Amino acid sequence: MNKPQPITPPVRASRLHGFLRSIVDLALILLIISAGKSALAEPYYVPSGSMEPTLQIGDELLATKYPYGYSTASLPLFINIPARARVLGALPRRGDVVVFRAPADLSQIWVKRVIGLPGDRIAVIHGRVWINGAPVGLTFDGTGEDENATGARRQVPQFTEALPGGRKHLIFQESTDGPMNNMPEITVPSGHLFVMGDNRDNSDDSRVPVGMGGVGLLPVADLVGRVNVLLGSWDLATASRPVWNWPSGLRWSRFFASVR
């Protein structure tokens, strides 16, 4: 009497199963790596001149996410959930360059400099920032090159601004009159920041209410991360030239340059 033989799966089906399992394992590994990277840092592109001369149009910056903790603002950009409390949260220092969800449109990432912390009294008088009743240090530092979105350039006055605590950075300041250069004193409420662009005549920041296209007083919960370094930079004006000239638009001096 013949014994029944065990049924074995075809070799082809076994190989297919192994291949599919490898694909799934690889996808999971890539997902874990991607999630880990996005939790630590993320690159962003600078499309406007509101932070000139510190950041230029065409810069690619790296925002580290862990210094200020995490909230729903830290999630991938396509997830637009109003932010509330932060986990492992910490306040920025005055002078930090930060990226955040734009309060008027959470699908957008903006970048500005922190000028005022919760409890600070902030005013702008004839273009000069006052913090807690005292003017910040402001020293003329020659001229700098202001660039607009079309690539047009012009020379503008440049100053070194010194915040309380001794941190210094460059700003562009042309005018000392007008609503952007004169703001009555306000007190930054708890859980908020006062942020400004370094290009003081071309920045919709905390001087401008959210309803008018600005930032208003920025909720700390909307912070994404801190900017410490540039990954690279490319001069957008080069795009109007023949494609073989595009590599000449690379600003090599800005590759891996620190941001302060």
Active site residues: 50, 112
171-193 burial, b at 16+ Cβ within 10 Å, e below that, comes to: bbbeeeeeebbebeebebeebbb
Residue type for position 102: A
Quickly list DSSP for 72-134.
Answer: GGGS-TT--------BT--PPPTT-EEEEEETTEEEEEEEEEEEE-TT-EEEEETTEEEETTE
Residues 6+ apart with CB under 8 A from 167: 93, 94, 95, 260
Residue of 255, 202, 243 lying closest to 59 (CA atoms) = 255
User: 243 — phi, psi (to 5°)?
Assistant: -60, -30
